A and B are shown apart, each in its own frame.
Chain A
Amino acid sequence: MTLQLIGALLTVLVPSWIGFQIAARYARRPAELRAAQNGLAVLVTEVEYGATPLPDALRSAARAAGSAIGAMFADVAHRLEEGGGITPGEALTEVVAGHRDATCLTPGDLETLLALAPVLGASDRRDQVRHLRLAMDRLAAAEAVAADERRRYERMYRYVGVLSGLALVLILI
């Protein structure tokens, strides 16, 4: 009887946990998109007015972005400082591929960041700023969509997780 109770509890908890995890991803995506925009905004300022060396500019962008996205910027800066003849574009491509699972961004969002790879630190100031602003606009559009999805699906996945656990218990008991 006790064993059955423990099993039933686990059967409820596991799908609930999965549901909450999926809901948390929906909740984190708009925040991460906003963080990426903040980082890019700092990067625009550094490139446009400061003409800071790229690793330093990326470090201050990382501080502005924070958390998972900030870690991406910091990682690009780290790879550039390590040297080894790597271009900023290559570093960005590697980092985006490496951090793919650490963030809640969709492949489309990451594609927006990857579109910066050919221009970052490889063209004149005006062109870089133009591309950075374009990326920010695209991220802002993605953020609006992500916020709408969050509003619709966050609660749904929680409910569905808990309820499917309960249904499973009822069917199996």
Chain B
Amino acid sequence: MDVQLLFRIAGVGIIVAVMATVLKQAGKDEQGQMVTLVGVLVVLMMVVSLLGKFFNLVKATFGMY
């Protein structure tokens, strides 16, 4: 399950990188930056629940309630 998520994030990263390069080559720099930003947001959405779990774990480990 976790490995699948990692691969998915890697795939999104590769595709976003290629797309940004192609757009930049065609002179559409702004759209390229937009694509990069959207990619970052999409990956963040995938990871955000896991991040929450992680912080809960940290809190539980150090007894910070």
List A residues at the B interface (Cβ < 8 Å): 152-153, 155-156, 159-160, 163-164, 166-167, 170-171, 173
Inter-chain CB contacts under 8 Å: number:
35
B42, A160: Cβ atoms under 8 Å?
A: no
Q: Is B59 an interface residue (CB 8 A)?
A: no
Instruction: Say whether, besides A167-B12, A171-B42, A173-B8, A160 and B27 are in contact (CB < 8 Å).
Output: no
B26, A152: Cβ atoms under 8 Å?
A: yes
Pick the contact of A152 from B8, B12, B16, B27 — CB < 8 Å?
Answer: B27
Which applies to chain B's interface (DSSP): helix, strand, loop or mixed?
A: helix
Pick the contact of B16 from A153, A155, A156, A167 — CB < 8 Å?
Answer: A167
Which applies to chain A's interface (DSSP): helix, strand, loop or mixed?
A: helix
A164, B8: Cβ atoms under 8 Å?
A: no
Q: Classify chain B's interface size.
A: 10 to 19
Complex: how many Å from CA A159 to CA B22? Answer: 7
Residue of A whose beta carbon sits closest to that of B28: A156
Instruction: Say whether, besides A163-B19, A166-B15, A171-B42, A153 and B26 are in contact (CB < 8 Å).
Output: yes
Question: Could you write out 27 A-B pairs with CB less than 8 Å apart?
Answer: A152-B27, A153-B26, A155-B26, A156-B22, A156-B25, A156-B26, A156-B28, A159-B18, A159-B22, A160-B23, A163-B15, A163-B18, A163-B19, A164-B19, A166-B11, A167-B12, A167-B15, A167-B16, A167-B19, A167-B39, A170-B8, A170-B11, A170-B12, A170-B15, A171-B12, A171-B42, A173-B8
